[in-house]
Chains A and B, each alone.
Chain A
């Protein structure tokens, strides 16, 4: 796990990279810039739009002529403040709770799948795979009906529960893949060293699994944060409506003014956490997303 010193392969890789650098680095920088423009262009576009005043929207240019923060003012301190901030609060709260529950349950479940021999573990994996492939919209109608009759419609729990259907399967698969990479023998070694199965879990597996659990939490959070179908179907007011749904239904401060600028500003604000997480944990997220695809 420790990466402070380089393995011989890494050292060799670095030497090779230095030699190759002279010849190919310019080419690689060009490719990197092309990729970066492709990936960031829409974000830059909406960022530019968020600084346009309503009058400038139709200027037909990428950049605003006179950048203005009026859109941000509108959603943060102005007329649309209540609408946006409550949606933001709903999104943050619901996504974090759904992520936490999913990660805790999935950690226990994935540990059992990766480490224990118990009848039925294939079923658990199959079910979670089926759930992850499920068309969300198929669940919405019956849930809509049920939630209305038992009073969960337009509440936080009313979104947290269905969000688990999004976050649990991916968390179970990602974590099971992570856990399978932890050498089996360690847990047995701990048991031979005198640990109970529970101690083996707490003292050996937990510290080794923590990075994987954290990465899984980020991925699960992205998925909950991204939800739209549940958000528009199972809520009706500011009580529980999350940001994506609020954006779709946002009509602006007055009906004579286009909400484009305000929506863009709101979009930028909800994109900031994503960009931050991606920048800080790029390596872990890539490992998390690919680990399940690599058979361990």
Chain B
């Protein structure tokens, strides 16, 4: 098992374009870290530099505290699961799994290959497929063979390069759970690259969000969700995405009010204070911060405020419903939103607000409705720099610390189970 440390890692290609720019990251022993970002953000390059398939232009890579920049891939003792599984088509499942062991045997002779392969196969439910060729396996089975090859290696760390992107949605969910369990039971340091924020949120102890080669934020999923550092992270994490509304802050009769295209929203004065001196801010509101005002608990009511808006249409999903409010942004805001969409590799952001309402709500589109919004959780962003002006760093750090403790507990439990079995 190992810790991996990246210090100011830079990758420049021949044309001088930095695919990865000054990334520093400490990955603790046994930790599951996700590298996430839109395509072209440098996450795969970073992973391939760790495993040694790409050269590091500058900066230092340490594994267990030892500099590894120049080591050949085979000397780094890492295992990798590739996007297309990279199974050897001429070898059976058994021989595919045994491949790293056979190579090691060439070098130092020893180890019971069969025992290790059988154990990995059992763990992955591949025992009955051992004699088949990869071409005859389903996508999920191939995925498991690729993981089997990583397991028998007894590598210091597992690296995953978008391992689930070739599977259909249902299988992806299932394999996601299997990978999570496997990582916990083996307690092996893992780095996992994905562009899918759901995978990032569900799998990672910590998630590193990258944009155009630059590390934006490294934190537990909860911290990323609740205390994002900037517009990009706020917009990238969460589905449906956070709504961004242009707003000006005005002092009205009833206190401080955010004037937005969908209506005036009163907010606590202290929350508005951060935006002092700015004539325009972007307000970030997650869809679930909204609720049908008639359905909100009395106790919860004071945490937010009520405003009137008109829903353009409504999607009822059974367990909840999405209400859409359209608005007409001015040119500056429109450009801001489309830049943000381009950064996130998303389609054009439509100037609309998505609200997640309780399934019981009887609001109808096309007429004014009273909506409640949880103003204690909304964020205010600087439209120029994208910085989150209302981020509570301490609260965020607390969330990540709690996640780390949780991980320690789970790893300890796994070790205990192992000890009992042995």
Query: Are A191 and B88 in contact (CB-based, < 8 A)?
Result: no
Evaluate contact between B90 and A1: CB separation under 8 angstroms: yes
A193 touches B103 (CB 8 A): yes
- Measured between C-beta atoms, what is the minimum distance from A287 to chain B in Å? 16
A188 at the interface (CB under 8 A from B): yes
Q: Interface code A193-208, partner B: CB below 8 Å = 1, 0 otherwise?
A: 1111001000110011
Main secondary structure, interface of B, reads mixed
Bound form: Cα–Cα A191–B52 in Å? 9
Q: A193–B99 contact, CB under 8 A?
A: yes
Q: Using Cβ atoms and an 8 Å threshold, which residues of chain B touch A2?
A: 89, 133, 135-136
**What chain A residues lie within 8 Å of B74 (beta carbons)?**
191-196
Closest to B136 in A: A5
Instruction: Check if B73 is an interface residue, CB within 8 A of chain A.
Output: yes
Q: How far is the CB of B57 from chain A (nearest CB, A)?
A: 15
- B86 touching A188 by the CB < 8 A rule? yes
Q: Establish whether residues B136 and A192, one from each chain, have CB atoms under 8 Å apart when the complex forms.
A: no
CB-based contact B80/A192 at 8 Å: yes
Question: Number of B interface residues, CB 8 Å?
Answer: 31
B77 to chain A, nearest CB (A): 8
Cα distance, A195 to B74, chains bound together (Å): 6
**Counting CB contacts under 8 A, is B72 at the interface?**
yes
Interface check B43, CB cutoff 8 A: no
Interface residues on A, range: 20 to 34
Establish whether residues A194 and B84, one from each chain, have CB atoms under 8 Å apart when the complex forms. no
- In the complex, whether A185 has a CB less than 8 A from a CB of chain B is yes
Complex Cα distance, B74 from A204, in Å, reads 15
Q: Are B104 and A194 in contact (CB under 8 A)?
A: yes
The answer to whether B100 has its CB under 8 Å from any CB of chain A is yes
User: In the bound complex, how far is the Cα of B74 from the Cα of A196, in angstroms?
Assistant: 7
The chain A residue sitting closest to B152, CB to CB, is: A193
Cα distance A5–B134 when bound, in Å? 12
Q: Using Cβ atoms and an 8 Å threshold, which residues of chain A touch B86? A: 183, 185-186, 188-189
Is A140 located at the chain interface by the 8 A CB criterion? no
- B73→A192 contact, CB < 8 A: yes
**Is A192's CB under 8 angstroms from B103's CB?**
no
Most buried by B among A188, A192, A195: A192
Contact B136 A191 (CB under 8 A): no
Q: Is A190 an interface residue (CB 8 A)?
A: yes
B53 within 8 A of A: yes
Contact partner, A194, options B89, B133, B153, Cβ 8 Å: B153
Cα(A2)–Cα(B96), bound, Å: 15
Choose from B52, B133, B135, B149 the contact partner of A193 (Cβ within 8 Å).
Answer: B149
Residues of the B chain whose Cβ atoms lie less than 8 Å from the Cβ of A191: 52-53, 72-74
* B330: Cβ under 8 A from any A Cβ: no
CA distance A71 to B375 in the complex (A): 103
The contact of A189 among B82, B104, B135, by CB within 8 Å, is B82
Of residues 173 through 192 on chain A, the ones whose CB sits less than 8 Å from some CB of chain B are 183, 185-186, 188-192
Please report the C-alpha to C-alpha distance between residue A204 and residue B87 in the assembled complex, in whole angstroms.
Answer: 10
Q: List 23 A-B contacts (CB under 8 A).
A: A1-B89, A1-B133, A183-B84, A185-B83, A188-B53, A188-B73, A188-B86, A189-B80, A189-B88, A191-B53, A192-B51, A192-B52, A192-B74, A192-B78, A193-B103, A193-B149, A194-B74, A194-B103, A194-B153, A196-B72, A203-B99, A203-B103, A207-B91
Given A2-B136, A192-B80, A193-B74: 8 more A-B contacts, CB < 8 Å: A185-B86, A189-B82, A191-B52, A191-B53, A191-B74, A192-B52, A192-B74, A194-B100
